[in-house]
Amino acid sequence: MKDMMQGDGGQWVFKSFFSENSCLRSLEAVLRRLNHGNGCFVDMSLLNVAVSLLNGAVSLLNVAMSLLYLTMSLLYLTMCLLYAAMSVLCMAMSLLNVAMSHFFMAVSLLYLTMCLLYVAMSLLYVTMSLLCMAMSLLYLTMSYLYVTMSLLCMAMTLLYLTMSYLYVTMSLLCMAMSLLYLTMGLLYVAMSLLHLTVSLLYLTVSLLHVAMSLLYMAMSLLYMAMSLLCMAMSLLNVTMGLLYVSFR
């Protein structure tokens, strides 16, 4: 608050407790010149209250601007750390994608090898089936010649048994290869689902990165607006200083 004026020879002496504020000092000088120049009696109590309220409002605005600037700085630091973490995560996801691509290539090569092996086994199975059919026909022929070719029939019978054992063995091997082929198909489906999951996760991370970039841009624009407001306050202070100099 400010003191009331005291008269001395028809003039007023103006005293202020807010002499550190340049704007208030300028206003005080103007009023002092008006009082000394015109010799009028001005009741300054209401003006003192208004100036005090203005000074308090400016102080509160300065504190609020400082707190807002500190909050914006902390938020900007948090966004920088989050952006660095997201960059590291994207790099890790890229490396994982490369590793999964190489793994899928290896699985594809293994699948191609198994297909070729299955084709070879199928051809062998057809060959053995044809051979068994030929042996059956030969067995029928040897049966008709059983009386005269008994020794040859015994030898052919042993050969037939041997081929039968080989046929059973090849059948079991074909069954094992079929089961392996089914297992590889299931593994390929599982790998495809895993690749789809990784792709969706990568897409989610990319969208989050875009959202963070937009938020960072908005915070930058708000920071620029606050800077312009601070410049406007500085220009107002300079203007009041110039007004003070012009009245002196």
Whole-model pTM: value is 0.29
CB-CB contact of 2 with 17 (8 Å): yes
CA angle (213 as vertex; 212, 216 as ends), nearest 5: 85
The helix/strand/coil state of 13 is strand
Amino acid letter, residue 97? N
Q: Can you give the residue ranges of every domain in the chain?
A: 6-247
Architecture per CATH, domain 6-247, reads as Orthogonal Bundle (1.10)
Judge whether residue 18 has pLDDT over 60. no
Q: Tens digit of pLDDT for each residue in 76-95? A: 999 999 999 988 998 998 89
Alpha-carbon gap, residue 183 to 107, rounded angstroms: 12
CB-CB contact of 199 with 205 (8 Å): no
The CB-side HSE value for 199 (13 A sphere, CA atoms) comes to 7
Mean pLDDT across the chain: 80
Q: What is the C-alpha end-to-end distance of the chain, expressed in Å?
A: 24
Judge whether residue 155 has pLDDT over 80. no
pLDDT at 101: 86
Helix 45-144 to helix 22-38 angle (10° resolution) is 160
- Closest by CA to 156, choosing from 127, 134, 126, 125, is 134
Q: Tens digit of pLDDT for each residue in 179-232? A: 998 999 899 999 999 999 999 999 999 999 888 989 989 888 998 988 899 898
Q: Tens digit of pLDDT for each residue in 33-61? A: 555 555 444 456 777 777 788 888 888 98
The pLDDT confidence band at residue 14, using thresholds 50, 70 and 90, is very low
